Amino acid sequence: MMNYFKEGELCAIKVIKKIFVRKLKADGVLHTNKGYIRHGDIIGLPEGSILKTNLNKTVYVYRPTLEDLIMSVTRKTAISYPKDIPYIVFSMGLHSGSKVLEAGTGSGALTIALSYYVMPEGKVVTYEKREGFVRQAESNILKAGLLDYVEIKNKDISKGVEETDFDCAVLDLPEPWRCLEVVFNALKPGKPLCMFLPTVNQTERLARELKRYGFSKPRTVEILQRTWNVKEGATRPNFKMYGHTCFLITTRKLSVEK
Ligand code: SAH
């Protein structure tokens, strides 16, 4: 069955290798360095159509995937990458109905992924201490159509979390040890916590501090992803890759006296 693009819908517009996610407007125009394309030429076409820019470059139009939504956020911070996010979804056991605690929100890329998996029954409560980032994240999450499942708090999470009984927590901030007590109190017993840290020094310190707060022995994982260039008789790994993003450290809230 054909599924045609309508005005007001999100479209992933792929121009050569770059993907732009835009809400289609009758008078909208996407300008790129490979030429421009009018939204009006996309409205009414089926998904997967092929068009040309005014400079005769090929354009493909699709419905955006979660990866497209994340990679197209407007960023003021580093974001969580698609290679790391599936590990969080699995290890945190996310499903529709999960109540997730997150900090810091940053640009909201990870918040988009978390809310995508917990909607429509669940929600993400996310803390961000910098007001400018809160506004940018809110606009990114709204554009992805997921703001109904997200509550953004413009607060430093180490100063306290109002709600309790979270099913899991995810921290992407440089000093997670400063908020371990608060996060411990906000989680249900036995539930998981995942943290992102870029350096070995932070990871060692975190392992030491987790012991003091009643969390289980952490598991530390690094996820490497290498893309390949497939060409008859010349197939090889691509020369460029994301060599390092972060370590992913998971632990659980124990139910014993501290
Ligand atoms: N995962 C996010 C990026 C997070 S960047 C994304 O995918 O977009 C880290 C963010 O943590 C920054 O915006 C920083 O302002 C925020 N932050 C650092 N310490 C914090 C704290 N104690 N409470 C709330 N936010 C904090």
Alpha carbon of 128 to ligand 1 centroid (Å): 6
Residue nearest to atom 11 of ligand 1 (CA): 104
Nearest-5° angle of CA 224, CA 79, CA 58? 85
Alpha carbon of 212 to ligand 1 centroid (Å): 23
The predicted structure's pLDDT at residue 2 = 84
Q: What are phi and psi of 42, to 5 degrees?
A: -90, -40
CA distance 197 to 120: 30
Parallel, antiparallel or unpaired: strands 29-32 and 35-38: antiparallel
Question: Is the distance from the beta carbon of residue 172 to the nearest atom of ligand 1 less than 6 Å?
Answer: yes
Alpha carbon of 244 to ligand 1 centroid (Å): 19
The predicted structure's pLDDT at residue 132 = 97
Alpha carbon of 112 to ligand 1 centroid (Å): 14
Atom of ligand 1 nearest to the CA of 77: 5
Alpha carbon of 157 to ligand 1 centroid (Å): 10
Contact 216, 254 (CB under 8 A): yes
Cα 112 to Cα 22, 32, 104, 250, distances in angstroms: 16, 25, 13, 20
Question: Is the distance from the beta carbon of residue 85 to the nearest atom of ligand 1 less than 6 Å?
Answer: no
* Burial class of residue 164 in the structure, from the number of CB atoms within 10 Å of its CB (0-12 exposed, 13-18 middle, 19+ buried): exposed
Residue nearest to atom 13 of ligand 1 (CA): 106
Alpha carbon of 153 to ligand 1 centroid (Å): 12
Residue nearest to atom 18 of ligand 1 (CA): 173
Residue nearest to atom 26 of ligand 1 (CA): 104
Write out pLDDT tens, residues 148-195. 999 999 999 999 999 999 999 999 999 999 999 999 999 999 999 999
Residue nearest to atom 19 of ligand 1 (CA): 173
Helix, strand and coil in the chain, % to nearest 5: 25, 30, 45
Question: In 78-103, which positions are buried (b, 16+ CB within 10 angstroms) versus exposed (e)?
Answer: ebbbbebbeebbebbebeeebbbbbb
Q: Which residues contact 60 (CB under 8 A, 6 or more apart)?
A: 13, 14, 48, 49, 50, 51
Within the chain, how many helices (H) and strands (E) appear?
7, 15
Alpha carbon of 252 to ligand 1 centroid (Å): 21
Question: Is the distance from the beta carbon of residue 125 to the nearest atom of ligand 1 less than 6 Å?
Answer: no
Residues of the chain with pLDDT under 70: 257-258
Question: Is the distance from the beta carbon of residue 128 to the nearest atom of ligand 1 less than 6 Å?
Answer: yes
Which tokens sit at 80?
Answer: 């969580």
Atom of ligand 1 nearest to the CA of 104: 11
Alpha carbon of 205 to ligand 1 centroid (Å): 19
